C-alpha cells in the first residue's frame, strides 16, 4: 500500500470563537462545513472550514480555547499553515485582508511560489500561496468570488530539534520525498503536489514550543480507508511512535501519535465525510454532535457561547463581481 495521500486537515488553537468564525468564514470566505465540539472536551467548539463540499485536504479546523495564554513557537511544534489560492489572485487577497485590518507582508517567494504571509486575529501564522490547477468545490454563498476562493491546504511548516529522525520517518513511513531546501526549510511532498507539502526546519538550540492561542495543535494526514489506515498505523508503531488505537470521530476515523520530532500527527480516513449527518446544502448551519454525545446535548449547548453564522461583515456586492 502507498504511504499517506497528503494532508487531510490541520487543527489549530484559537481565542474567541466568534472572532474565529468572522475571520475564516467572513474575511477568508471559507465554508464552515461542520460546527461541532471537541470530542475530548465537549464544552469547547470544534469548527471545520473547507471548500464548498468539505473535501479532504481542504479543512482547516479550530479549537477555541480563549483561556489559554499565547502560544510559544519552538521545536516540537507546527507553526505555519499555507493555503492554496488561484494564480494571480494575491493582489485581490492583499487588498481584502488590509480592508479588514489584517497587516500583510510584501509578496514573498517560497520554493519559487508567490506567497502572501500574515497572521490571523489570534496570532496563527498563515500564508496564501498561488497554485495553478488546484481544483476545489466553490462555496456559492462566500463573499469571495469563486475564481478567487481558497482551494484548500497547501503546506504546513514545523520546527524540530533534530532533523534526522523526522526526515527518516517522513521518507520511510509516510513515503514523502524531498523537494529541496530553502533558508533552512526542508520541503517534503508527494510528487510536489499542493496539499501534500510539509516543510521542516531544525532548531537545535531553541526553547521548546508550547501549545496556546495562535498555534497548530496537530497535522492530520489522509488515509484512503480503514484498511489503509491500519497499514499506516502498523508502520508508525514499528517506527516506535506509539500510535493510539483507532478512534471513531464519526466523520472519519483517527489515529494520533507524536512523530520523532515531537509534533502531534494524525492519520484520518477520507470517509465517510461531513455529509453523513447533514444535508450538503446546509453544512455547518447548526451544532452537530456525534451520536454518543447526543444524550448530553442540552448540557453542552448551555455551556457553549452563542455563535452568529454566517458572520455579518460589511461586504459590498461588488466583491462578487
**Could you tell me the CATH number of the domain that includes residue 314?**
3.10.180.10
Q: How far is 311 from 23, CA to CA, in rounded Å?
A: 9
Q: How far is 240 from 29, CA to CA, in rounded Å?
A: 41
**Which one-letter DSSP state was computed for residue 291?**
G
Q: Looking at residue 124, what is its pLDDT?
A: 98
- Would 233 be classed as within a structural domain? yes
CA-wise closest residue to 262 among 310, 319, 218: 218
User: How many separate domains does the chain show?
Assistant: 1
Q: How far is 66 from 3, CA to CA, in rounded Å?
A: 36
Q: Looking at residue 41, what is its pLDDT?
A: 97
- Would 1 be classed as within a structural domain? no
CA-wise closest residue to 105 among 93, 113, 122, 121: 93
Q: Looking at residue 320, what is its pLDDT?
A: 43
- Would 95 be classed as within a structural domain? yes
- Would 227 be classed as within a structural domain? yes
Q: How far is 234 from 250, CA to CA, in rounded Å?
A: 22
Q: Looking at residue 306, what is its pLDDT?
A: 96
- Would 287 be classed as within a structural domain? yes
Q: How far is 212 from 71, CA to CA, in rounded Å?
A: 4
Q: Looking at residue 271, what is its pLDDT?
A: 97
pLDDT per residue of the chain (321 residues) written in tens, 0 to 9: 899 999 999 999 999 999 999 999 999 999 999 999 999 999 999 999 999 999 999 999 999 999 999 999 999 999 999 999 999 999 999 999 999 999 999 999 999 999 999 999 999 999 999 999 999 999 999 999 999 999 999 999 999 999 999 999 999 999 999 999 999 999 999 999 999 999 999 999 999 999 999 999 999 999 999 999 999 999 999 999 999 999 999 999 999 999 999 999 999 999 999 999 999 999 999 999 999 999 999 999 999 999 999 886 644 434 544
**How far apart, in Å, are the Cα atoms of 261 and each of 169, 173, 218, 258, 287?**
10, 14, 13, 8, 36
- Would 143 be classed as within a structural domain? yes
Q: Looking at residue 313, what is its pLDDT?
A: 62
Full residue range of the structural domain in which residue 215 is found: 7-320
- Would 207 be classed as within a structural domain? yes
- CB–CB of 48/58 below 8 Å? no
Q: Looking at residue 315, what is its pLDDT?
A: 44
- Would 2 be classed as within a structural domain? no
Strand (E) positions, 190-306? Answer: 197-202, 215-223, 247-248, 252-258, 264-272
Amino acid at each position: 500500500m502507498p504511504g499517506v495521500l497528503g494532508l487531510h486537515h490541520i487543527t489549530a488553537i484559537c481565542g474567541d470563537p466568534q472572532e474565529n468564525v468572522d475571520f475564516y468564514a467572513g474575511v477568508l470566505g471559507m465554508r464552515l462545513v461542520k460546527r461541532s465540539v471537541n470530542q475530548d472536551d465537549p464544552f469547547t467548539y470544534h469548527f471545520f472550514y473547507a471548500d464548498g463540499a468539505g473535501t479532504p485536504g481542504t479543512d482547516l479546523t479550530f479549537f477555541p480555547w480563549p483561556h489559554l495564554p499565547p502560544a510559544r513557537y519552538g521545536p516540537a511544534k507546527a507553526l505555519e499553515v499555507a493555503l492554496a489560492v488561484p494564480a494571480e489572485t494575491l493582489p485581490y487577497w492583499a487588498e481584502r485582508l488590509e480592508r479588514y485590518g489584517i497587516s500583510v507582508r510584501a509578496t514573498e517567494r517560497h520554493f519559487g511560489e508567490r506567497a502572501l504571509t500574515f497572521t490571523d486575529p489570534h496570532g496563527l501564522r498563515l500564508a496564501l500561496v498561488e497554485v495553478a490547477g488546484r481544483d476545489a468545490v466553490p462555496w456559492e454563498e462566500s463573499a469571495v468570488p469563486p475564481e478567487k476562493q481558497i482551494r484548500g491546504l497547501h503546506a504546513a511548516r514545523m520546527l524540530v530539534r533534530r532533523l534526522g529522525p523526522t526526515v527518516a520517518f517522513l521518507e520511510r513511513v509516510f513515503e514523502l520525498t524531498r523537494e529541496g531546501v530553502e533558508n533552512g526549510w526542508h520541503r517534503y511532498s508527494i510528487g510536489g503536489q499542493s496539499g501534500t507539502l510539509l516543510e521542516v526546519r531544525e532548531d537545535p538550540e531553541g526553547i521548546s514550543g508550547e501549545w496556546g492561542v495562535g498555534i497548530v495543535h496537530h497535522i492530520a494526514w489522509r488515509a484512503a480507508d480503514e484498511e489503509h489506515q491500519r497499514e499506516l498505523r502498523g508502520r508508525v508503531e514499528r517506527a516506535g511512535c506509539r500510535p493510539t488505537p483507532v478512534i471513531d470521530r464519526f466523520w472519519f476515523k483517527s489515529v494520533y501519535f507524536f512523530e520523532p520530532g515531537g509534533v502531534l500527527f494524525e492519520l484520518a480516513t477520507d470517509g465517510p465525510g461531513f455529509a453523513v449527518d447533514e444535508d450538503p446544502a446546509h453544512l455547518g448551519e447548526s451544532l452537530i454532535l456525534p451520536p454518543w454525545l447526543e444524550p448530553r446535548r442540552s448540557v453542552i449547548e448551555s455551556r457553549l457561547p452563542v455563535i452568529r453564522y454566517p458572520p455579518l461583515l460589511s461586504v459590498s456586492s461588488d466583491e462578487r463581481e
